[in-house]
């Protein structure tokens, strides 16, 4: 097994929320968006991150690329990104690129597509001759399935799926070692989603890039990932191989997520029991004590409110953050 390309340990992101109606010197309230996430990523591996809205997935991505301040360690390719001076950190960014959720919003409306795709290249290799820049832009556009003769067009002239391909081309032009995809398909039509996911799979196979693939839809993540990480309220709930997550989920939250994935057959879908997770995500300003999932967990007991569960090893490379991972989940049992 090769050395991990990315090591994240105890990553925390805390935002200050100003108290409404307070004085300027009133201490702001703390919102912990990501609370102590650790994981390793090997070269060429795809890590899926799932969780509902507000679970801190996007914040995790932004903390890794460094656009939000965070504490904890992010070691990329043997270098601690937190210790770098801004200039060195900027040049490090060549190897970590990101794809965004809203394909059109991620493209500057005043720039041509060719200029957008060329931006990372021009930023990190400013002396590249213009003809060479154009050649490489055309090459990468061709590779992601865009006509290179569209490079003088503007983003608003493209469809959502094409815009996402432009975003992918921009992210790949420098051959990064790590690609972070922040819900790259959730703004797209289902048919286009499949095209984009397949494109990402092909590119990964060809180029051997490691990826962090964020989505709230487990069925998409399962399709592309080697390993899946389930997040809830900024905490890690369960991590395992994609196969193990789907077949033997141990954490009650993961079990609910798996049970909520629709079956693409109307008859089966109508007949199948649908356990629903009660209640809403608690406010991250006042997270529940102990286990953060206990307010919605059918297995919650006294102990869950008192001690936050550690990550139990529940199988090969499979860890779940639940005290009672080895007991059946009542509501799911009843539904079956």
Partner 1 sequence: MALTDPATEASRTATRPEKGRSLWTDARRRFLRNRAATAALAVLVLIAIFAFGGGFVAQYERDYVDFTLIGINASKGVPSFETGHYFGTDAEGRDLFARTVQGTRLSLLIGIVGSLVAVVVGTLYGAISGYLGGRVDSVMMRIVDILMSIPFMFVLILLLVIFGRSLLMLFIGIGLISWLGMARIARGQTLTIKNKEFVEAAIATGVRPLTIILRHIVPNLLGIVVVYATLLIPEMIIYESFISFLGLGVQEPNTSLGSLISSGASQVLNGGGEPWQLYFPLFFFVATLFAFFFVGDGLRDALDPKDR
Pick between residue 133 and residue 300 the one whose CB is nearest to partner 1: 133
How far is the C-alpha of 50 from the C-alpha of 53, rounded, in Å?
A: 9
DSSP 104: T
In angstroms, give the least distance from the CB of 222 to partner 1: 20
Is the separation of the CB atoms in 60 and 28 below 8 Å? no
Pick between residue 10 and residue 142 the one whose CB is nearest to partner 1: 142
Residues near partner 1 (CB under 8 A) are 62, 65-67, 89-94, 96-98, 100-102, 105-114, 119-120, 123-124, 142-154, 156-157, 167, 170, 195, 198-199, 202, 206
How far is the C-alpha of 228 from the C-alpha of 247, rounded, in Å?
A: 12
Structural element, H or E, at residue 75: strand 71-76
How far is the C-alpha of 289 from the C-alpha of 282, rounded, in Å?
A: 11
Pick between residue 136 and residue 153 the one whose CB is nearest to partner 1: 153
In angstroms, give the least distance from the CB of 332 to partner 1: 38
DSSP letter string, 105-148? TTS-TTS-HHHHHHHHHHHH-TT--HHHHHHHHHHHHHHTT--G
In angstroms, give the least distance from the CB of 90 to partner 1: 4
How far is the C-alpha of 49 from the C-alpha of 183, rounded, in Å?
A: 9
In angstroms, give the least distance from the CB of 319 to partner 1: 29
In angstroms, give the least distance from the CB of 15 to partner 1: 14
Question: Going edge to edge, which strands form the sheet with 71-76?
Answer: 29-41, 6-17, 71-76, 79-80
Pick between residue 82 and residue 287 the one whose CB is nearest to partner 1: 82
Structural element, H or E, at residue 260: helix 252-260
Q: Is the dihedral of CA 157, 161, 165, 168 positive or negative?
A: positive
Pick between residue 194 and residue 305 the one whose CB is nearest to partner 1: 194
Pick between residue 142 and residue 280 the one whose CB is nearest to partner 1: 142
In angstroms, give the least distance from the CB of 153 to partner 1: 4
Pick between residue 67 and residue 83 the one whose CB is nearest to partner 1: 67
Q: Is 186 exposed, middle or buried (0-12, 13-18, 19+ CB in 10 A)?
A: middle
In angstroms, give the least distance from the CB of 126 to partner 1: 10
């Amino acid at each position: 097994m090769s050395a991990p390309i990315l090591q994240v340990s105890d990553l925390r992101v805390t935002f200050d929320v100003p108290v409404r109606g307070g004085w300027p010197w009133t201490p702001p309230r703390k919102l912990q968006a990501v609370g102590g996430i650790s994981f390793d990523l090997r070269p060429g591996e795809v890590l899926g991150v799932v969780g509902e809205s507000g679970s801190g997935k996007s914040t995790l991505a932004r903390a890794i690329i460094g656009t939000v301040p965070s504490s904890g360690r992010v070691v990329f390719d043997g270098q601690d990104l937190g210790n770098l001076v801004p200039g060195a950190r900027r040049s490090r960014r060549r190897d970590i690129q990101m794809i965004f959720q809203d394909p059109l919003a991620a493209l500057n409306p005043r720039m041509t597509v060719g200029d957008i795709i060329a931006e990372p290249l021009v930023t990190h290799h400013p002396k590249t001759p213009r003809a060479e820049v154009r050649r490489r832009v055309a090459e990468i556009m061709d590779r992601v399935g865009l006509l290179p003769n569209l490079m003088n067009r503007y983003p608003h002239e493209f469809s959502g799926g094409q815009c996402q391909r432009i975003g992918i081309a921009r992210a790949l032009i420098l051959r990064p070692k790590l690609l972070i995809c922040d819900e790259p398909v959730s703004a797209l039509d289902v048919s286009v989603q499949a095209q984009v996911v397949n494109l990402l799979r092909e590119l990964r196979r060809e180029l051997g890039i490691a990826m962090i693939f964020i989505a709230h839809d487990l069925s998409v993540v399962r399709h592309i990932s080697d390993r899946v990480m389930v997040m809830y309220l900024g905490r890690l709930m369960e991590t395992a191989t994609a196969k193990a997550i789907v077949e033997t989920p141990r954490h009650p939250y993961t079990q609910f997520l798996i049970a909520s994935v629709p079956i693409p057959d109307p008859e089966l879908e109508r007949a199948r029991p649908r356990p629903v997770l009660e209640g809403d995500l608690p406010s991250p300003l006042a997270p529940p004590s102990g286990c953060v999932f206990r307010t919605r967990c059918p297995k919650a007991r006294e102990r869950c409110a008192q001690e936050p569960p550690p990550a139990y090893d529940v199988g090969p490379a499979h860890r779940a953050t639940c005290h009672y991972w080895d007991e059946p989940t009542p509501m799911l049992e009843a539904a079956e």
